[in-house]
Amino acid sequence: MTAKPTSTPPTSLGHRERLRQRLELEPTAVADYEVLELLLGYGLTRKDTKPLAKELIQKFGSIRGALDARPEELLQVPGFGPGLLAFWRVLGETRARYAAAELQQKEVLATPEAVARMAQARLGTSPHEECWLALVDRRNRLMAWERLRRGGIAEVSIYPRDVLEAALLRKASGIILVHNHPGGNPGPSQEDRLLTEELQRLAPRMGLRFLDHVIVTDGDCYSITQSQRI
């Protein structure tokens, strides 16, 4: 039987403070479940979070696994309720925006891995296929990072017109198209390749540069224009 978080007695409050001090003085000596225990304490301020932290590590294998777990999986863990799920979503959004900030004022073409990291932070664990656009200026600096479409479990419909209109609306110079494959295989489909070819053909006619079409999964990325994993 899995243990649920219980109200925090004074001894647990003292334990949490000692754990904070250990993290500050010698962070690498703190176990993964203890880091997660401290993190959970900010979402469950009056609960003993140690049992839940251990349960999350056991179920998902690591801190990353726990942070990337899907909502329906998290809610199956005893003690992980809607309130904590909202806190988890804030963490996920923070991670996604942190990754996106890496590209601010940087040359996107000089750091294709940064594009992949930004996309993975946002889309890697999404159960739905989504299409996003990274729009850049003439110096390839990020101007906008926005969702174009969100589809069902297996697919999302993307049309060249929508991509080009979004770029023109933002007065962008270049386009990087990004979408995810929830199934875990980053390899492009025939439809993905045809869409890429169509955008490569049409973008110059609109005064735009089509720079790349990147497919991401939780652990992998593929550049269609480079025909390789990145």
Per-residue confidence (pLDDT) for residue 59, from 0 to 100: 94
Task: Give the mean pLDDT of 80-94.
Answer: 92
Per-residue confidence (pLDDT) for residue 37, from 0 to 100: 93
Tokens read off for 87: 């806190």
Both 24 and 60 in one domain: the answer is yes
Both 122 and 160 in one domain: the answer is yes
Which residues are CB-contacts of 51 (< 8 A; sequence separation ≥ 6)? 2, 3, 4, 5, 6, 79
Stretch (H or E) spanning 165? helix 160-169
Number of domains in the chain: 2
Both 116 and 47 in one domain: the answer is no
Instruction: Show the domain range for 123.
Output: 104-229
- Judge whether 114 lies within some domain: yes
Residue 123 has pLDDT above 70, yes or no: yes
Task: Give the mean pLDDT of 70-78.
Answer: 92
Both 29 and 85 in one domain: the answer is yes
Four-residue CA torsion sign, 126, 70, 187, 141: positive
Per-residue confidence (pLDDT) for residue 108, from 0 to 100: 66
Longest dimension (CA), the chain: 69
CA distance 70 to 204: 40
Both 66 and 83 in one domain: the answer is yes
Both 57 and 116 in one domain: the answer is no
Provide the CATH number for the domain around residue 163. Answer: 3.40.140.10
Nearest CA among 180, 181, 144, 182 for reference residue 163 = 144
- Judge whether 32 lies within some domain: yes
CA distance 148 to 140: 20
Residue 3 has pLDDT above 60, yes or no: no
Q: Who has greater pLDDT, 168 or 143?
A: 168
Tell me the pLDDT tens digit for each residue of 164-176: 999 999 999 999 9
pTM: 0.64
Mean pLDDT (the chain) is: 85
- Judge whether 1 lies within some domain: no
Residue 9 has pLDDT above 90, yes or no: no
Q: Of the candidates 46, 67, 95, which is a domain's last residue?
A: 95
Both 198 and 123 in one domain: the answer is yes
Both 141 and 195 in one domain: the answer is yes
Q: Of the candidates 34, 61, 95, which is a domain's last residue?
A: 95
Both 87 and 171 in one domain: the answer is no
Tell me the pLDDT tens digit for each residue of 31-67: 999 999 999 998 888 889 999 999 999 999 999 889 9
Tell me what percent of the residues of the chain surpass a pLDDT of 90. 41
Q: Who has greater pLDDT, 221 or 197?
A: 197
Both 168 and 88 in one domain: the answer is no
CA distance 109 to 122: 20
Confidence of residue 230 (pLDDT cuts 50, 70, 90): low
Tally DSSP H helices, then E strands, for the chain: 9, 8
Both 167 and 90 in one domain: the answer is no
Residue 184 has pLDDT above 50, yes or no: yes
Both 71 and 146 in one domain: the answer is no
Q: Of the candidates 95, 124, 157, which is a domain's last residue?
A: 95
Per-residue confidence (pLDDT) for residue 76, from 0 to 100: 94
